[in-house]
């Protein structure tokens, strides 16, 4: 067991109709809001109009920054922060998936800091304060709604990195599973793959801690039960609710207590596929995790065995790994590079991206030869 401090200040509002409490919650922090959203899903679903109506009726003033893209970029964050600073906004309201909420987190510390956002990622600057940020989640996947992490891309420096600060926990997060009913099948599956990957990254972190293992097995088992049901009934609110809660619990620190913060080697490699080929985050993980486990099967045999037995009832390492691969296939998340149109001609380039960014886990160290083997299993 590794030592840990457990701190999670986010207030979670979960279930149908929770948005009714949104205006009152915002008013606790101020009356001038920067509304941050993505490329347009909230306009198509009608959520934009609903939120605009709620804020308007409560007399809340709104300044907007829309257009945050999936796999968000630091330029948008800097632009939105300049706008927020100029407009003297008091609260940030993020409405969207992980990309929108992660961007809003960094906007919240960039406004008062008054320097480029990437300075936090290079540790040239440390945040000292944050504009209060409130999230309305529309896609179950990342866990960002209740955690201190934000992931951004910097295309100029060839990086996609995570940043952690206790200042960027959302003050409140509103999770109404009905808001996720419009998520298409592919992103629904990627979200399920992502939440399972978060459990796995923590599970394979340094140290062992019995209750944390059991939380992890429960979350994965729940997703394994409800994920396929959701994939055949994308409109099912009960199914959406189960997966939404699984995703929040998978990465709100509950699964990393005693685990030294997790391994995260697979995420580091996955980020390079997103940065260079635009691969959706969850898709990169369903391709990588089975391959990574195959390469780690001797080094992590006991852990893989315990995991497989607890989640799928498998009794040997190979069938435990196969059970994960089959599950990702069953929900329709890719398990090979060829499925997403990346052929052998790209293998060397991908290995080099991993080498150059030192894509690395904290518990299971990856060598050049490991990268080579992982790529072969991902083909």
**Binding footprint of ligand NZQ on the chain (CB under 6 A):** 38-41, 45, 70-72, 96-100, 102, 138-139, 141-144, 147, 149-151, 179-180, 182-183, 187, 191, 194, 251, 267, 281-282
145 binds Zn ion (CB under 5 A): no
The interface with Zn ion within residues 177-216 (CB under 5 A) comprises 194
Shortest approach of ligand NZQ to residue 59 CB, angstroms? 27
With contact defined as beta carbons under 8 Å apart, do 97 and 178 qualify?
Answer: no
Site for Zn ion contains 161 (CB under 5 A): no
Residue among 194 and 263 whose Cβ is closer to Zn ion:
194
**Stated length of the chain:** 379
Q: Which does 212 bind (CB under 5 to 8 A by kind): ligand NZQ, Zn ion, none?
A: none
Contact at 8 Å (CB) between 240 and 177? yes
> Toward ligand NZQ, which CB reaches closer, 97 or 265?
97
Q: For the CB of residue 139, give the shortest distance to ligand NZQ in the complex, in Å.
A: 4
Contact 168, 109 (CB under 8 A): yes
Residue nearest to Zn ion (CB): 194
C-beta closer to ligand NZQ: residue 97 or 258: 97
DSSP output for 22-33: HHHHHHTT-SEE
CB of 135 to ligand NZQ, least distance (A): 11
- Torsion angle in degrees (nearest 10) through CA of 300, 306, 310, 316: 80
CB of 228 to ligand NZQ, least distance (A): 19
**Which tokens belong to 345?**
């001609």
Binding partner at 252 among Zn ion, ligand NZQ, none, C-beta below 5 to 8 Å by kind = none
DSSP string, 273-323: HHHHH---HHHHHHHHHHHHHHHTTTTTHHHHHHHHHHHH---SHHHHHHH
Query: For the chain, what percentages of helix, strand and coil (3-state, to nearest 5) are there?
Result: 55, 10, 35
CB contact at 8 A, 105 and 133: yes
Residues that bind Zn ion (CB under 5 A): 194
């Amino acid at each position: 067991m590794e030592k840990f401090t457990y701190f999670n200040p986010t207030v979670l509002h979960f279930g149908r109709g929770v948005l009714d409490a949104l205006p009152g919650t915002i008013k606790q922090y101020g009356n001038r809001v920067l509304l941050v959203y993505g490329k347009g899903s909230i306009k198509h679903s009608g959520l934009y109009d609903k939120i605009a109506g709620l804020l308007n009726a409560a007399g809340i003033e709104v300044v907007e920054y829309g257009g945050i893209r999936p796999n968000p970029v630091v330029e948008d964050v800097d632009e939105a922060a300049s706008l927020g600073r100029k407009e003297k906004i008091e609260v940030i309201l993020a409405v969207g998936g992980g990309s929108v909420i992660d961007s809003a987190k960094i906007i919240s510390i960039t406004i008062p800091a008054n320097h480029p956002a990437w300075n936090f990622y290079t540790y040239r600057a440390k945040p000292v304060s944050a504009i209060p940020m409130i999230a309305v989640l529309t896609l179950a996947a990342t866990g960002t709604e209740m955690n201190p992490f934000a992931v951004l891309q910097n295309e100029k420096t060839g990086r996609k990195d995570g940043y952690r600060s206790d200042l960027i926990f959302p003050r409140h997060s509103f999770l109404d599973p009905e808001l996720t009913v419009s998520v298409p099948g592919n992103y629904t599956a990627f979200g399920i793959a992502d939440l399972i990957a978060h459990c796995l990254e923590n599970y394979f972190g340094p140290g062992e801690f019995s209750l944390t293992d059991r939380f992890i097995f429960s979350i994965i088992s729940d997703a394994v039960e409800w994920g396929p049901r959701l994939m055949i009934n994308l409109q099912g609110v009960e199914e959406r609710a189960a997966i939404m809660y699984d995703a929040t619990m998978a990465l709100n620190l509950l699964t990393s207590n005693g685990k030294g913060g997790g391994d995260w080697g697979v995420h580091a490699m996955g980020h390079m596929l997103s940065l260079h080929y635009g691969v959706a985050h969850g898709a990169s993980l369903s391709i990588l995790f089975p391959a990574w486990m195959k390469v780690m099967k001797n080094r992590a045999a006991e852990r893989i065995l315990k995991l497989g037995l607890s989640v799928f009832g498998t009794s040997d390492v190979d069938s435990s790994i196969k059970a994960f691969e089959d599950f990702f296939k069953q929900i329709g998340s890719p398990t090979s590079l060829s499925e997403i149109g990346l052929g052998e001609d790209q293998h060397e380039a991908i290995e080099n991206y991993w080498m150059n960014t030192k894509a690395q886990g904290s518990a299971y160290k990856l060598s050049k030869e490991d990268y080579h083997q992982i790529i072969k299993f991902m083909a």
